[in-house]
Structure 1
Amino acid sequence: MTVTLALALVGLSLVDSTSFGTLLIPIWLLLTPGRLRIGRIAAYLATVAVFYFCVGILLTLGADAALEALRAAVAGIPTLALKIGQLVLGALIIAASYRLEARVRRQGGQPGKIRHWRAKAMSGSGSVGSLMGLALLAASLEVATMLPYLAAVGLMVNADLGWQLTGAALAGYCVVMTLPAIVLAVARFVAHHRADPLLQRANDWLTRNSAKALGWALGGIGISMTLNAAATLLLDG
């Protein structure tokens, strides 16, 4: 593994560390009043990390087969039709990003499902099993938007690292991805009186900007698809 690849994977994992499942929900859990139950936070983060690791293994195993199937599926479709379809899909994604951002703002900056998770997690009524279920649900809902992770897996596959090194790289990625939440949990456990104000500010900032983050992430995908399709159509025309 080259230094460039290692740095790229670390950078992508740190981007992944700021998602709802890896940072926002853990911050909500850490803001629970009273003495921190470190085992519950550990169970949540371990579940997220293991889920991502298993998804990475499956993606790595199926990467070549998936690419070949995709090539075979589109081989008989005219390029013009594909690009027009891409252009339309990009425009729809851009429109959906504005709709999503407006919906999140109407809900007070927090998606309704996430607010339900927070209430259940902070009530203290759930068992460790239910907390692990929360982690699986959060990670599962983020599968469709795990673009940094997909990019990281693609880099590993293209680098042809071999199974042992690829597995180690995936494990390291998942650890780094949960590292910010682990650091906050340790800070909350060791010095919760000092850490609480910082956690509260971080939670407030993420809550205020969640609508923009969701809209920009989805809109960026749509804009990229639209511009790529439009440029190809103009050049071919």
Structure 2
Amino acid sequence: MTVTLAVALIALALVDSTSFGTLLIPIWLLLAPGRLRAGRIAVYLTTIATFYLGVGILLVLGADTALTAVRSIDIPPVPLRIAQLILGALLIALSYRLEARAAQRAGNPGKIQLWRSRTMSGTGSAAGLMKLALVAAALEVATMLPYLAAVSLLANADLAWHLIGITLAAYCIVMTLPALALALARFAAHQRVDPLLQRINEWLSRNSAKALGWTVGGIGIGVMLNAAIALAFDPA
């Protein structure tokens, strides 16, 4: 493996470490009030890293076949961009629905916050964390362009299979490092940071549903803009 490839993979892994599943959900879990069990955040991070490792290995194994199949499909770009516009519009419409639902539920204690507190304190099952990690990873794996780029680099590199596996495992570990660092800070400085975390937790509890709507709407706008720019400058 060249130094250039190693640096590129590390950079891509650090970008991936800021995604919804690898950073935002762990932060939300760490904001649970009271004493937390360190093993619970480890369960989440291990599950999501293992999932991506498995997906990466499958993608590398089938990369050549998949690329050949994609290149053989002759679909005009205009219909694809129109479908992209429709998808973006549907996402924006969904964002309004999510915001409306959040407004209806404002002021009611959320079951999800209760589940988080029980699970992270150890009184609830850890299986829910594994399910959460798998769902988060499955939902965003197709949109994690850095990871797909890393898999493509490895697929095109002249590496033995065991080196590809080790590299993918290291990549997935790097993806979880920022969340792991925050977890260590949370457990090491619990008394000092707990008041601030409680205030952040209260704010997120009130606004998490709205934030989901804003996020979905932002994704929809981005999808539509990408399609519109492509149609305007490269319609053929």
TM range (shorter): 0.7 to 0.9
Q: Does 1:62 align with 2:62?
A: yes
CA contact 2:85–2:223 (8 Å) conserved in 1: no
Percent identical: 52
2:5 & 2:78 partners in 1: Cα distance? 35
CA contact 1:29–1:118 (8 Å) conserved in 2: no
1:219 & 1:133 partners in 2: Cα distance? 29
CA contact 2:82–2:227 (8 Å) conserved in 1: no
Partner of 1:123: 118
Offset of residue 157 of structure 1: 1.9
Offset of residue 26 of structure 1: 1.6
1:191-206 matches, cutoff 5 A? 191-196=189-194, 199=197
Partner of 2:133: 135
1:161 & 1:198 partners in 2: Cα distance? 47
Partner of 1:157: 155
Offset of residue 179 of structure 1: 1.1
Residue identity opposite 1:106 in structure 2: A
Partner of 1:112: none
TM-score by length of 2: 0.78
Change over 3 Å in CA distance of 1:73–1:144 after alignment to 2 = same
1:77-88 matches, cutoff 5 A? 77=75, 82-88=76-82
SS at match of 2:73: helix
1:1-237 matches, cutoff 5 A? 1-74=1-74, 77=75, 82-108=76-102, 118-124=113-119, 125-196=123-194, 199=197, 207=208, 210-233=212-235
CA root-mean-square deviation: 2.9
| Comparing 55-64 and 132-141, the one that deviates more | 132-141
1:120 & 1:41 partners in 2: Cα distance? 14
TM-score by length of 1: 0.78
Change over 3 Å in CA distance of 1:38–1:88 after alignment to 2 = same
2:32 & 2:43 partners in 1: Cα distance? 16
Change over 3 Å in CA distance of 1:8–1:214 after alignment to 2 = farther
2:163 & 2:200 partners in 1: Cα distance? 35
How many corresponding residue pairs?
223
